[in-house]
Amino acid sequence: MSLSTSAGPDDAAPDLFRPLQARDFLNPPILLAGVVDNLMYAFFRDRLMTAPLEGVVVIELSTLGGDPEVARMMGEDIRFHSEQEPNRRFVFLGKAAIYSAGATFMSFFARPNRYLTRGTRLMIHERKLQANVILDGPLTMCIANLKAKLNEIEHSIQIQNEGFQNLIAGSSVTMEQVLKLAPENWYVEANEAMNLGLIEGVI
């Protein structure tokens, strides 16, 4: 998983590099609120296609969480469009609550393109799993079923940790700290997130 950046051609507009001010966030072209799910993704894709083709493109989000795989799809869209359309600078603005899948989406933005509104809380936690493993049949098949579930868990942990690495890249937070705090739901207030280097600024 790679991060989107604000880097562009040598002749790119100044908007791609300058520090952002509060006025840059007055009218975000993409406003997202609610559960991160397939409906949000469809709306996000529609708004992404109609957003300005150059300069700063602010994506405002407020969410209590949702589907982490949908968040990753949205993030991959940001990464892809950042690489293919270097004259656009995609900027994340989190408002009120950026929980769970919201933090996953934010992790796809390079730190200079991450902002939160005052008082916003990030919530970072481990992925959750609820499953029943039914053992019924030949013993060898029972072993196969158990191994399949274990492989699923291990792969999910790998994806989760890749997201954590992207989230903390360039910050003072270590992977050891994240893995210690995430199982208990780690809440980070906006100013604390800025001081830790998880975001660029507070609006």
Q: What is the mean pLDDT of each run of 10 residues along the chain (203 residues)?
A: 46 69 96 98 98 96 97 98 96 98 97 97 89 84 90 92 95 97 97 98 96
The reported pLDDT for the residue numbered 193 is 98
Beta strands in the chain (DSSP E): 30-33, 55-63, 88-99, 114-116, 121-124, 186-189, 201-202
The reported pLDDT for the residue numbered 134 is 83
The reported pLDDT for the residue numbered 6 is 42
Query: Quick one: how many helices (H) and strands (E) in the chain?
Result: 6, 7
The reported pLDDT for the residue numbered 18 is 84
**CB of 93 within 8 A of CB of 28?**
yes
- φ, ψ of residue 172 to 5 degrees: the values are -90, 0
**62 is written with which tokens?**
């407020």
The reported pLDDT for the residue numbered 14 is 59
Site of tokens 């083709």: 53
**CB of 114 within 8 A of CB of 106?**
yes
For 14-202, CATH number out of 3.40.718.10, 3.40.50.620, 3.90.226.10, 3.30.530.20 equals 3.90.226.10
The reported pLDDT for the residue numbered 13 is 54
Beta bridge partners of 183: none
**CB of 120 within 8 A of CB of 98?**
yes
